[in-house]
Amino acid sequence: MRANRPFLRLLFAPLGFVCLALGVVGAFLPLMPSTVFFISAAACFAYASPRLEAWLLSFDFIARPVRAWRERGAIARPAKLLATLGMSIGLLASALAGASLLMLAVAAFVLALCALFIWTRPD
């Protein structure tokens, strides 16, 4: 799936490293996702360089969710639970911080759509 245009390869390689860095940060911060950034990094590396993609997928903890997503569009149940918990905590934190009712309603609607998407994916 490598991009035919050199400019795109030059664009996707650094973007892949940014996504990888965000994924590593997300692995240690409780409310920041990691898997979505690893999936994005793998996609960027697939366009930029098969060698970079293979390197990224050589790490089992990254490769398993990326392959599950690519093959079946699957999200593991623990990841679903953590994502839902994170969204709930984020919404609660917004309420406690004094967000307006309109902002809370919009956030709740968007987060409900995200949760719906997550929970309708196979395990």
What does the pLDDT look like over 36-95, one tens digit per residue?
Answer: 899 999 999 998 988 999 999 999 989 999 999 999 999 999 889 988 998 999 899 999
What residues contact residue 41 under an 8 Å CB cut-off, 6+ apart?
A: 16, 17, 19, 20, 23, 56
In the structure, what pLDDT confidence band is assigned to residue 14 with cuts at 50, 70 and 90? very high
Domain that holds residue 94: 77-119
Whether residue 87 is found in the same domain as residue 42: no
Q: Are 10 and 67 contained in the same domain?
A: yes
When pLDDT is cut at 50, 70 and 90, the band that residue 4 belongs to is low
pLDDT at 53: 94
- If asked whether residues 16 and 61 sit together in one domain, one would say yes
Cα 16 to its chain centre, rounded Å, is 12
* pLDDT class of 113 with cuts at 50, 70, 90: very high
The number of distinct structural domains making up the chain is 2
